[in-house]
């Protein structure tokens, strides 16, 4: 029987598939084990056999097309750029979160400084307006960087999910 063995090449570390003609599942895995770390062994459907005399030509053609082949590797595409892009997006997401934290700390420093100066000097109405505008600007910056960080983290996860879907669809 023919089996498709899926795994990782021992030398290159890349995903590979191997077609093996053996008697059982364990023999297919044993035959593939020297070249790869086996992840999965799947039986491949046998060709259809024809019983009627008029179909002998088709049977011969089908037998020739599905004759036992030598063991061969099918290389699964490398998705390294997707993983690298996801890493960069995750890194930028962390930078955005760090910027939000820095702006929040600056807001707290500003509020403490404003509270300290208010005790000493009376404020004019225009000073209160600019103070409120400054605080609103800090809060808007924190919110914007938190949203940017969340979106970049989402894009990072999404790119890895697309990579996994592509890898799984290639194997089938």
- Residue ranges covered by each domain of the chain: 2-75, 80-171
Return d(Cα 126, Cα 23) in angstroms, integer: 89
Residue carrying the six token digits 């979160």:
97
The pLDDT, as a whole number, for residue 12 is 79
Give the pLDDT score at 92. 93
Strand residues in 22-135 grouped as ranges (E):
36-43, 72-75
Which are the contacts of 142, defined by CB distance < 8 A and separation ≥ 6?
100, 103, 104, 107
Question: By three-state DSSP, how is residue 68 classified?
Answer: coil
Provide the whole-model pTM: 0.50
- Contact of 12 with 36, CB cutoff 8 Å: no
Contact predicate 6/17, CB 8 Å: yes
The residue to which tokens 């077609």 are assigned: 19
CB 31 within 8 A of CB 22: yes
Instruction: Give the pLDDT of the chain (172 residues) as one tens digit per residue.
Output: 788 888 888 887 788 888 888 888 888 888 888 888 888 888 887 655 555 555 555 556 555 555 554 455 556 667 888 889 999 999 999 999 999 999 999 888 888 887 776 655 555 566 677 778 888 898 999 999 999 999 999 999 998 888 888 777 655 4
Question: Would you state the pLDDT for residue 43?
Answer: 86
Q: What kind and span of H or E run contains 94? A: helix 80-120
């Amino acid at each position: 029987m023919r089996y498709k063995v899926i795994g990782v090449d021992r030398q290159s570390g890349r995903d590979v598939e191997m077609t093996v003609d053996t008697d059982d599942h364990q023999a297919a895995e044993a035959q593939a084990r020297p070249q790869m770390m086996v992840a999965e062994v799947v039986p491949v459907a046998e060709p259809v056999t024809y019983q009627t005399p008029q179909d002998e030509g088709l049977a011969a053609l089908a037998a020739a097309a599905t004759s036992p082949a030598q063991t061969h590797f099918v290389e699964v595409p490398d998705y390294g750029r997707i993983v690298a892009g996801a890493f960069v997006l995750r890194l930028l997401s962390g930078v955005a979160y760090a910027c939000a934290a820095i702006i929040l700390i600056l807001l707290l420093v500003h509020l403490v400084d404003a509270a300290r100066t208010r005790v000493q000097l009376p404020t004019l109405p225009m000073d209160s307006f600019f103070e409120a505008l400054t605080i609103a600007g800090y809060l808007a910056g924190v919110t914007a960087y938190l949203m940017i960080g969340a979106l970049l983290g989402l894009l990072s996860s999404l790119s890895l999910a697309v990579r996994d879907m592509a890898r799984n669809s290639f194997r089938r």
